A and B are shown apart, each in its own frame.
Chain A
């Protein structure tokens, strides 16, 4: 309240030309558990960490299939993710129906970007509070896009969103060469899980309950590996817990102190952060 008067709605610019509501929406993504995406020549893998609200609760789904050739991983407000992925499904179906061809990944992601952008310049609406990693294989090859509620879309060879995702990005940057080169899908998945593992906080490890993996690519229609199915890939890892002894968790979250909020909430209570209600 005392901070400024420019963050009440998404149609007001601050004197420095920023849209605070949009930036808050980007914060919502950082509260969500991490999702990682990476691309080899012919395949795209998504790996995501699922969270449960409490010990007895189920784990929130993080990867959504859009079509046989496309799927998304989300971080942030799951309902918003569902709305956007439903929209993508409609787009994919109408492309099949009207033109009898699979929807191009770039067109798909631009269509939701336009949708998100509209919410940043109309009164009474709010930006989507979800970030998506959109994976797809189409006639132009394997693609991975990061979608942000600001309406911006960028293509990546490797990308990570959500809590402590910087660690995963660092892993991907260091292993970019071998990720790009690999012909084997299993290897790509292991890379994805390694990156995802780096986002874990100290007392959490990857289990078949909290890990979700998807593959799409040449001659491979979009497939999600959950629960028992993901165990085979976890078995390929040297360790299922974060190798780094971290007591400086939040230093690798990058520049999320852009306007001074939220960092405190993250650093106070590290263990409970993985049981947050944000992802519900």
Chain B
């Protein structure tokens, strides 16, 4: 078998003679064309293009808090600085999305359609779409797509309330993997933010002891740390607070404040003393 990525899985030419590219509708006619991707058979997304970085979120006593910065990166180029990655679904559900931005926009459309069909049509009231339902729906969509080998390249966090009014926070990603937790972050945040958030909620039930102020401070702190350390992050971000019995609070254009850079002037060189 040939292990060249451009003719992987095919019989080797030097052993079996020239490969017949009409087999299995493979459209590459000769190796000279292999540099041109349009000649290839159907290919699905292999990697994200414009990307959003971490979403950080935390349960507190009577609600959910979630934040994500406003950046859409094009590789290492910080290309778009006004992306909104927190989506509101219905009155009390928020979906934070990281990963590919075009796939995020597709999900945005799906959620909008979901809201119109489920919340508006044939709704006699009292049976609203809540966070667990949105999460279940999204996990079905994402698992279905990955099973077709054509994933939506995202990691999502869904926050809101359960049917019984307790806070709900759950994750789902491009593989259809889901889990629930009192502190969830995606991407870089799962390395940097979760350890900080876990100081507030060492165990999952501990979220009941966390006040909104504590939660907010912790999330702001996480956003600052992520801005320090994540090369694909921005200091401008959005923050959503959902509290039981209150209107969902959506804050935009927040800044990472109180950054400490003063120490930098004292750092010189990489080892031996410099002037």
Chain A residues packing against B (C-beta within 8 Å): 97-101, 104, 106-107, 110-111, 138-140
A-B contact pairs, 20 of them (CB 8 A): A97-B140, A98-B136, A98-B137, A98-B140, A99-B136, A100-B133, A100-B136, A101-B132, A101-B136, A104-B124, A104-B127, A106-B122, A106-B124, A107-B123, A107-B127, A111-B122, A139-B126, A139-B127, A140-B124, A140-B126
| Binary contact track B118-150/A, C-beta < 8 Å → 1, others 0 | 100011111101001100110010000000000
CA distance A100 to B125 in the complex (A): 19
Contact of B126 with A110 in the complex, beta carbons under 8 Å: no
Contact of B140 with A110 in the complex, beta carbons under 8 Å: no
- Interchain CB contact (< 8 A) of B133 among A101, A107, A140: A101
Contact of B137 with A140 in the complex, beta carbons under 8 Å: no
CA distance A98 to B143 in the complex (A): 12
CA distance A106 to B122 in the complex (A): 8
Note all chain A residues with C-beta closer than 8 A to B132: 100-101
- The reply to whether the CB of B204 lies closer than 8 angstroms to some CB of chain A is no
Contact of A99 with B124 in the complex, beta carbons under 8 Å: no
Note all chain A residues with C-beta closer than 8 A to B127: 104, 107, 138-140
Contact of B122 with A110 in the complex, beta carbons under 8 Å: yes
Note all chain B residues with C-beta closer than 8 A to A101: 132-133, 136, 163
Which residue of the partner chain A has the closest CB to B128? A139
Chain B residues packing against A (C-beta within 8 Å): 118, 122-127, 129, 132-133, 136-137, 140, 163
Which residue of the partner chain A has the closest CB to B140? A98
CA distance A106 to B127 in the complex (A): 10
Shortest CB-to-CB span from B166 to chain A, Å, is 16
Which residue of the partner chain B has the closest CB to A114? B122
Which of A99, A100, A101, A111 has most chain B Cβ within 10 Å? A99
| Nearest 10 pairs of A and B residues by beta carbon | A100-B136, A99-B133, A140-B126, A104-B127, A106-B124, A110-B122, A107-B122, A99-B136, A101-B133, A98-B140
Note all chain B residues with C-beta closer than 8 A to A99: 118, 129, 133, 136-137
Which residue of the partner chain B has the closest CB to A111? B122
CA distance A100 to B132 in the complex (A): 8
Note all chain A residues with C-beta closer than 8 A to B118: 99
Shortest CB-to-CB span from A143 to chain B, Å, is 10
CA distance A97 to B123 in the complex (A): 19
Which residue of the partner chain B has the closest CB to A95? B133
Which residue of the partner chain B has the closest CB to A99? B133
CA distance A138 to B140 in the complex (A): 23
Shortest CB-to-CB span from A112 to chain B, Å, is 12
CA distance A110 to B124 in the complex (A): 11
Which residue of the partner chain B has the closest CB to A138? B127
8 new A-B pairs (CB below 8 Å) besides A107-B123, A138-B127? A98-B140, A99-B137, A101-B132, A101-B136, A101-B163, A106-B122, A110-B122, A140-B126
Note all chain A residues with C-beta closer than 8 A to B122: 106-107, 110-111
Which residue of the partner chain B has the closest CB to A100? B136
CA distance A124 to B133 in the complex (A): 39
Note all chain B residues with C-beta closer than 8 A to A98: 136-137, 140
CA distance A111 to B121 in the complex (A): 11
CA distance A229 to B150 in the complex (A): 52
Note all chain A residues with C-beta closer than 8 A to B124: 104, 106, 140
Which of A97, A100, A110 has most chain B Cβ within 10 Å? A100
